[in-house]
A and B are shown apart, each in its own frame.
Chain A
């Protein structure tokens, strides 16, 4: 197991290197003066320009610039926002908890629905629940989340006024208001992943339910609930863990649009505001950090997967 983790970590190094090169190239393809990017806005004073050029190595050849940029990035220095002059990392970490709250709620919602409905659909194959679940699955992946968000705002926020149509309230000051404002964005963000998780739970449970060891369990006289929850789930949920883990890594991506529609002040909204304000350093910082978090979650998923199913690490060892 230790060897397996080590090998996965080693494999990550070249990819992380290439990811950093891609982000560096994207920064250099962006329009505008790089001095402005690192100084946090247009600078007129020649002394300041020279100082920034030297500090970030902008007067050096491109490969040297990359090394200097990487050094800064590894220390958490991604430059400053062109609009607010705030350090990029600070701007991101300030908003991260709100994105994690929204993403966490959406994932929780998605996994609970997928487990309950997916299991019923698999156990009662071709029943009404199964047919509805399968239909909803294809609809769920085809539904753009900005469209669903708008429909939810219209119906529950504006017509029936059950939930606020948007905005954020701090949990510490007003927990109830915070949760109320969380409902619609969380449902919106959860829609696509619920569809994928549901499909996965159903199909892997169907695969497992026809296997011999479950026939043995039935022959022993175990109750159906015990068979499904104690024996079938254990094996069926391994692929679900993979998909779920990747969704954790992709929270930020999904949050981009959802946060925009619901005026949720998280990292996704920051990304969109920065794109519209041509605030390149913030955009690139978010891209780099989300790529790294996505890679980290892939690693965790692989390790978890190998732990849940020891055949995987054995197989890759013998390969």
Chain B
């Protein structure tokens, strides 16, 4: 492991930022200097200072504390939606690729249908079916939108693998399909899926921020990066820039670190994928 990391410093760098982000999210209650929802109008709209390094918003809430707590929403939405996309997408892809035939045909038409919708718009349409937007719906919507990427990747690899000798050998000794799929095909996909899930996490953070920005994700007063930008943008004409820029920079750093790590993992784990990208 140590040699692997030494040979791939980009993974080390990207991984460190990601670990740091997770640390901030987990220990937000300890790290954040103030209660992110505590209103103190007398302290409203203060520019960055020693007491409030990122300033305060119109209700006097500490922007730094809200950015720290906001990482919880971003990362938990990313974790859950990537799990939904991964779980559904990989299962469908494995089944379609291994069994083929009519199931494959129907599954791929379903995926084509999902792909026919622009991703953000489909997520919006799913969340918009609810009377009151809530963060759970955003998680589900982002997860569903991510399914095709995992299915296509898994199916293509499963199709190629099922003709290989070691699978034929497993079949010859009487291994059942479920065992072949999970014990022999799935482990061979792990590298490509790790890369996809890392890049997918970046996409999910971005999607959550976009939905929250549009008022379809986390709801006030929950601290959320996307929602905070949208709420604070009304003060831009007064040049109160800190309230919007701090959460925006947080989104950028989080998405950048996962993209950076994903790219580095792709280069290290699968040189063929790198050429295809």
Contacts and interface: CB of A to CB of B under 8 A. Distances in A.
A203 B276 CA distance: 9
Contacts of A283: 124-125, 128
Contact of B121 (A146, A165, A253): A253
Contact of B116 (A19, A144, A278): A19
Interface stretch (A99-107, A115-123, A149-157): A149-157
A275 to B, nearest CB: 5
- Chain B residues touching A, range: 35 or more
A143 B226 CA distance: 13
A313 interface: no
Contacts of A154: 236, 239, 241, 244-245
Interface residues of A, number: 52
Contacts of B210: 144, 146, 257
Interface in A269-292: 271-272, 275-276, 278, 280, 283-284, 286-287, 290-291
Contact of A272 (B214, B260, B263): B214
A90 to B, nearest CB: 20
Given A26-B125, A147-B252, A253 B109 contact: no
Contact of B239 (A23, A138, A151, A159): A159
A256 interface: yes
B129 A29 contact: yes
Main secondary structure of the interface of A (DSSP, over half): helix
B131 interface: yes
A18 B115 CA distance: 11
A139 interface: yes
B245 A287 contact: no
A46 interface: no
Contacts of A261: 233
Contacts of B233: 150, 261
A147 B202 contact: no
Interface in B112-127: 112-113, 116-122, 124-126
A158 B259 contact: no
Contact of B252 (A143, A159, A199, A290): A143
A142 B256 CA distance: 5
Interface string A246-278: 000110110011001100000000011001101
Nearest to A192: B206
Nearest to A16: B116
A14 interface: yes
B248 A290 contact: no
21 contacts: A15-B116, A22-B113, A23-B125, A31-B130, A138-B260, A143-B255, A144-B209, A144-B248, A144-B252, A146-B209, A146-B229, A150-B245, A151-B245, A151-B248, A154-B245, A207-B275, A253-B119, A283-B125, A287-B117, A294-B116, A294-B117
Interface of A: 14-16, 18-19, 22-23, 26, 29-31, 138-139, 141-144, 146-147, 150-151, 153-154, 158-159, 165, 199, 203, 207, 249-250, 252-253, 256-257, 260-261, 271-272, 275-276, 278, 280, 283-284, 286-287, 290-291, 294-295, 298
Given A31-B129, A275-B215, 9 more contacts: A138-B263, A141-B259, A142-B255, A146-B210, A154-B239, A154-B244, A165-B237, A256-B214, A291-B121
